[in-house]
Amino acid sequence: MPKKSLKDIVEETLTKFGGEPVKDAVLFHMNRRYKVRPEDVLSKAELFIEALKDIYGPFEAPIEKELCNRLAKEYGIKYNNEGLVCLAKRIKENQKLIQG
């Protein structure tokens, strides 16, 4: 079980790429336009990436990679550079196996 919440991991990653004001603006835009919150990153990974691409354009890639690295580490899963959508599926499958 992860020590940090999804919300914390997403917020810390976004803060790293622009500070608190940028993070707040990005999260506001994502929630308002895409109905995606930080805690939805695993259940709505495709929409989350779409929102990041809309906001950051080509700079979305390093943010996605950083987020994936942090999520993989937190959930104890090896990250193979497959992107957030595939990683989210693997994390959810792993959670199902753990929960039984």
Q: Note the pLDDT tens digit of each residue in 14-64.
A: 999 999 999 999 999 999 999 999 999 999 999 999 999 999 999 999 999
Predicted TM-score (pTM) of the model is: 0.92
- SS3 annotation, the chain: CCCCCHHHHHHHHHHHCCHHHHHHHHHHHHHHHHCCCHHHCCCCHHHHHHHHHHHHHHHHHHHHHHHHHHHHHHHCCCCCCCCHHHHHHHHHHHHHHHHC
Please, what are the domains in the chain?
6-99 (1.10.1200.200)
The pLDDT score that the predictor gives to residue 34 is 97
